[in-house]
Amino acid sequence: MDKGKKIKAIAIDGPAGSGKSTIAKLLANELGYLFFDTGGMYRAVTWEALCRNIPIDDQARVTSLAENVQIDVRAPTVDDGRSSDVLADGKDITWDIRRPEVDENVSIVSAYPGVRKALTAQQRRIGLRGNVVMAGRDIGTVVLPDAELKIYLDASVEERARRRFLERQSRGEMVDFDEILEMMHRRDSIDSTREVAPLCAAEDAVVIDTERKSISQILDYIMSLVNTSLVV
């Protein structure tokens, strides 16, 4: 990060439940930047595969789907708590991609090299337009390696599972904490050991442990980094 250089892109990475989407959205609102959660694209492909009865373990067919389905992420048009609209071939699937069956399978889909190649190109084009806060798992390392500010958020797997449990409870879902914890362990393993773009902090990322910090404390700290860099 170069002091005195205007920040055009901010990359926020971290494992599931680390708070990256929440923080990225708030930061984007504060700066007047575009908020873009890249995980929504992988979730969209996963949901579409499930809807079309494409076996998740059929890498060739899932990759073909990712290469051909038209996914769009844009500012929210419905006031129902969503942070953006997610469309697949023009169909609103914003909340569908947050269903438990997507949680259980998205890490498998996102590990496929062809899927990552197809979606990374779209993500990079959006990021290079500038004035964007992009959240994901490989933004600082792969999608936007030249981002002026890179943040990596982390917390224990137990804390991240607790957050996901409360999030799904708040939506009225019947959930079991132990099942969510097991799923979180599985996702961490897949994300951190995949051959293509494994989950890790970029060498020049600022790593923040979110476990004992409030959202406002995290946001204030990141804003101090932004202000130090003289964003205008």
The answer to whether position 229 is within a domain reads no
The answer to whether position 228 is within a domain reads no
- Say how many domains are in the chain: 1
Provide the pLDDT for residue 212.
87
Alpha-carbon torsion (220, 224, 229, 232), positive or negative: positive
Q: Note down the domain range covering 153.
A: 9-222
The answer to whether position 231 is within a domain reads no
The tens digit of pLDDT for each residue in 101-135 reads: 999 999 899 889 999 999 998 888 878 888 899 99
* Structure-model confidence comparison of residues 135 and 84, the more confident one: 135
The answer to whether position 48 is within a domain reads yes
- Strand runs labelled E in 1-66: 9-13, 34-37
pTM over 0.75: yes
- The predicted model gives 73-102 an average pLDDT of 90
Provide the pLDDT for residue 5.
61
Provide the pLDDT for residue 187.
86
List residues bridging with 92 in a β-sheet. 87
The answer to whether position 196 is within a domain reads yes
154 and 208 Cβ atoms separated by less than 8 Å: yes
What is the CATH classification number for the domain harbouring 48?
Answer: 3.40.50.300
Q: What pLDDT band is residue 232 in, cutting at 50, 70 and 90? A: very low
Provide the pLDDT for residue 198.
85
The answer to whether position 1 is within a domain reads no
Q: Residues in the chain, how many?
A: 232
The answer to whether position 51 is within a domain reads yes
Residue found under tokens 């990359």: 11
* Structure-model confidence comparison of residues 72 and 19, the more confident one: 19
The answer to whether position 22 is within a domain reads yes
Residue found under tokens 């002026």: 148
How does the average pLDDT of the chain come out, rounded? 90
Provide the pLDDT for residue 172.
87
